[in-house]
Amino acid sequence: MILSPQICLFLTVISLSSCASATLKEVEEIPPPLGAKKEIVPTNEKAPAEDAAVMPESGLLQIKSVLAKYHQSKSVQMELKKRVFMALLERENISEGQLSFSKGQLRLRIDKPHPSEVIVDNNNIWLVDQLPEGSKPPIQVARVRVDKLSPQSRAKSPLAFIFRDLKVWDEFKLVGEKVADEKITYSLKPIHPKEWRNVAKLAIRLDQKGKQVLAVSYWDDLENETSWVFRKVDFDVPVSKDFFKYSPPKDITIMEY
């Protein structure tokens, strides 16, 4: 079975735990990390300089502190908007949906332009793609087993690692920061690039006052950009015990990834 473009796309979104009020414009205004080509971000802002005044320990502690807020909550629900910008083609794709997160488990529903779901429980990552009307079968299902995640998996699902385990942030070095209106954007690079093949640079934008994540962007070696904006966060929303479980239809062939 060949994975559909939608499932390949959402392999990069399989674990999140952040949010805040924001717009797509705010994602586009996240300054690129050091070395990013300015044209990949439609803004007049310059990339933050790699400055000796930047205090890596302080910045990483703040990132972990904000993300810990979401891990400690019983459940978090939010809306999200994702933007993928392909630098060589100068083309972008935008998708919208809703995200629910609880203690490392996740359910992401993409409503448009292509209906899809990503469900992360303690053992599996399920990717469910609704195929065009009249297709047989009507859906395509892929599974990634959590215990088989590897450095190669990081290339397909960087956010699954960035947000699933706070210790992962120790694998990044802080190379720049920018503060404006109580919002701070940290720019980072992986310490061991080979272990983060699709993440050459990363930026995370925080609301310092509200201790929330506003947006996340990362760039690969070809300067392709993937960005998320998180908004309308709701903490401690009651969810059923089966909300983060998924059972595929018996007549569906599962793609083991």
What are the residue ranges spanned by the domains of the chain?
5-230
Find out whether 214 and 202 touch, Cβ atoms under 8 Å. Answer: no
Do you know the residue count of the chain? Answer: 257
pLDDT band at 136 (very low <50, low <70, confident <90, very high): confident
Asked if CATH classification 2.50.20.10 holds for the domain at 5-230, the reply, yes or no, is yes
Q: What is the pLDDT of residue 5?
A: 43
Structure pTM? 0.71
| Torsion angles phi and psi, residue 90, rounded to 5 | 50, 50
> How many Å apart are CA 205 and CA 26, to the nearest integer?
9
Q: What is the pLDDT of residue 40?
A: 32
| pLDDT tens per residue across span 140-194 | 999 988 777 665 555 555 665 666 678 888 889 999 999 988 899 999 999 988 8
Q: What is the pLDDT of residue 237?
A: 86
